[in-house]
Amino acid sequence: MTAISHHVPDGMIAAYAAGTLGYPFELVVAAHVSMCDECRALLAAHEAAGGVVLEVAAAAPVSGDLKARTLAALDRPVRAEPRPVHRRSGIYPGPVAAALGAAGPRWQTMGGGVRQCILHEGTAGSVRLLSIPPEQAVPEHSHGGTELTLVLQGSFDDETGRFGVGDLEVADGSLEHTPVAGAGMPCICLAATDAPLRFRAWLPRLVQRYFRI
């Protein structure tokens, strides 16, 4: 794998460490962190800093029965569950493999050889796998919110540069682009959005609701 040169922004790493990202973005960040030594070290630094903040934070007033309720909760039997180990499966990082389950991706054809597999949809947005044939362009579009795109196989180029395996593109409403898959093999990406894309051409806009993009 070539060196990763496009990373998770520091503020997003901090939000991930604090547990405040919605699931779609959380999954993409978790997948990138599992592939990237630099971002994994940055995450560890944020988690350590968060621990220090908790240690030095001023005490807050609590209800009078808090101690009794806490001790009662500790007396209840709890079955210890082992922490899940997310193992890589082929091109899919551990967090993505866990989201897919044993069955693997269930691809939906979108036309022109492009396929998608929606992993999650909810109020915080959606996250999906996209498979784009070599040298195929994604229709020109901008963004109604934020889009995270993590390359798992192959590569793509757009107006901002080249993105290879492990690279993460962070796009917002200021970016209008036409991603083009690299030569050689399909470009498979993990993409999360918190708002619909904004396509220029009428045909993508026509099918957008059907494909839930």
Q: Could you report the per-residue pLDDT of 62-91, keeping only the tens digit for each?
A: 666 765 665 665 555 544 444 455 688 999
Nearest partner of 138 among 170, 186, 96, 80, judged by Cα = 186
- The dihedral through the CA atoms of 131, 192, 190, 178 has a sign that is positive
Distances (CA, A) of 160 to 149, 176, 177: 13, 10, 8
- Rounded Cα gap, residues 92 and 105, in angstroms: 10
| pLDDT at 51 > cutoff 70 | no
Question: Looking at the predicted structure, is the pLDDT value of residue 17 above 60?
Answer: yes
Amino acid at position 78, single letter: V
Query: Residue 162 in 3-state DSSP?
Result: strand
More confident residue, 60 or 27: 27
pTM summary value: 0.83
For the chain, percent of residues with pLDDT exceeding 90: 72
Q: Which of the pair, 73 or 124, is modelled with greater confidence?
A: 124
Tell me, what CATH number does 203's domain have? 2.60.120.10
Quick one: residue 63, left, alpha or beta (phi over 0 = left, psi -120 to 50 = alpha)? beta
For residue 210, the model assigns a pLDDT of 87
Q: Residue 163 is inside which H or E element, if any?
A: strand 161-163
- Domains identified in the chain, total number: 1
Q: For residues 175 and 159, what is the distance between their CA atoms, to the nearest angstrom? A: 9
| pLDDT score, position 62 | 61
State the residue range of the domain holding 149. Answer: 1-213
Residue with tokens 């590569």: 155
What share of the chain has pLDDT > 70, as a percent?
Answer: 82
The DSSP line for 14-75 is HHHHHT-S-HHHHHHHHHHHHH-HHHHHHHHHHHHHHHHHHHHSPP----TTHHHHHHHHHH
* Whole-number Cα distances in Å, 147 to 9, 23, 80, 102, 193: 13, 13, 37, 27, 4
**pLDDT at residue number 81:** 47
